[in-house]
Amino acid sequence: MKLEENKSLKDYLTMRLGGKARYFAEIQTKDDVVEAFQFAAAHQLKTFVIGGGSNTLADDEGFDGLVMHMCLKGRTILEDNADDIVIRYGAGEILDEVISESVDMHLTGIEAMSLIPGTIGAAPVQNVGAYGQDISQSFVELEAYDMHTRAFVTLSKEDCQFAYRASIFRGKDWGRYIIVSVTLRLQKGNPQPPFYKQVQARLDEKGITSYTPALIRETVIEIRKWKLPDPHYIPNSGSFFKNAIITKQKLAHLQEKYPTLKGFAMGNDTFKISTGWLIDQAGLKGASMYGMRVHDRNALVLTNVGAKSYHALAKAREDIIAEVNKQFGIKIVQEVLEMH
């Protein structure tokens, strides 16, 4: 295990902000995980795991502990059945490379998540998804190091308690597990309609009626490249806020004033609405503040166009939250994780 001290974090986080990690370790093997944990335990250090750094922020003070950069690679086919294939991936594998490979193998199940940045090991943490697919739909199990029991464990789909952009890893078991591999079951053959509205509309425009995983991936990439800034060129953390979950009564009240507002049923008389729409309606799409900018094509995305500190980002975030709450009575919630 390679261990460094006072390592700048901003080059590992796609928002390109943040201070230094007191200690920083590259994780290449399962043995590295154990060694890193033992080092942290011996020195009474808190820990944090990063993958691609696309959904994580560090404040200006950095992280007074051990940051583990998950770089554990590998792909293993566990089952090759008539209708599906089960594949185990090292947690450090880049998610979009996993998706590209699955499409080349003519497998379906994750192609609508094309171009989501980050690693596959981070995908279960917030149950990442896009355009009608999320990781839980193809998920079989994961292996993780349990820092409570100091042993590697296997967690099933039920164990992970997936929900909309949520799991035990963002809830009751935050900071307990270090994910080292993720196993997916991907279907052979072609994806079946209906597809997410924007994807279907783009397919219809092209007159496409025969669908393949490659076509869906290509279509999603076209949409994402138009709607979302590339973090390699414009620092950002992807969708900065979660879509809002509101009551049936609140939705009805909003629809009286905004009849075209769509709500998507989430169960228990709650509905998901677009936070991007809320930010746009609040007059903030394209707005610049403190060196941050609300993206002019997707108001869920906050880009760093000149900010030099996390403090600047925090001020922009609070202004956006306050303005949406003032206009709609809805307090939107940050999706991006923070190092604590």
Q: Residue 11: how many CA atoms within 13 Å on its side-chain side?
A: 5
Report helix angle 95-104 to 213-227, nearest 10: 150
Told to judge if 181 belongs to the known catalytic residues of this protein, a careful annotator would answer no
Rounded Cα distance between 62 and 76, Å, is: 36
- Inter-residue contact 198 to 131 (CB < 8 Å): yes
Number of other residues whose CB lies within 10 A of the CB of residue 64 = 13
User: What contacts 87, CB < 8 A, 6 or more positions away?
Assistant: 75, 76, 77, 78, 102, 183, 184, 186
User: Could you say which of 16, 138, 239, 293 is catalytic?
Assistant: 239
Rounded Cα distance between 313 and 292, Å, is: 6
User: Could you say which of 22, 75, 88, 165 is catalytic?
Assistant: 165
User: Could you say which of 93, 111, 143, 335 is catalytic?
Assistant: 335
Structure tokens that stand for 42 in this block: 């011996």
User: How big is the chain, counted in residues?
Assistant: 340
* CA distances to 50, 59, 114, 251 from 133, in Å: 23, 32, 10, 24
Rounded Cα distance between 92 and 65, Å, is: 21
Sign of the CA dihedral 130, 131, 136, 138? negative
Told to judge if 224 belongs to the known catalytic residues of this protein, a careful annotator would answer no
Residue whose C-alpha is closest to residue 324's, from 259, 270, 244: 244
Structure tokens that stand for 142 in this block: 């994961």
Told to judge if 237 belongs to the known catalytic residues of this protein, a careful annotator would answer no
- Inter-residue contact 71 to 29 (CB < 8 Å): no
What is the bridge-based pairing of β-strands 63-70 and 139-146? unpaired
φ and ψ at 115, to 5 degrees? Answer: 70, 5
Residue whose C-alpha is closest to residue 337's, from 40, 103, 67: 67
Residues recognised as catalytic: 165, 239, 335
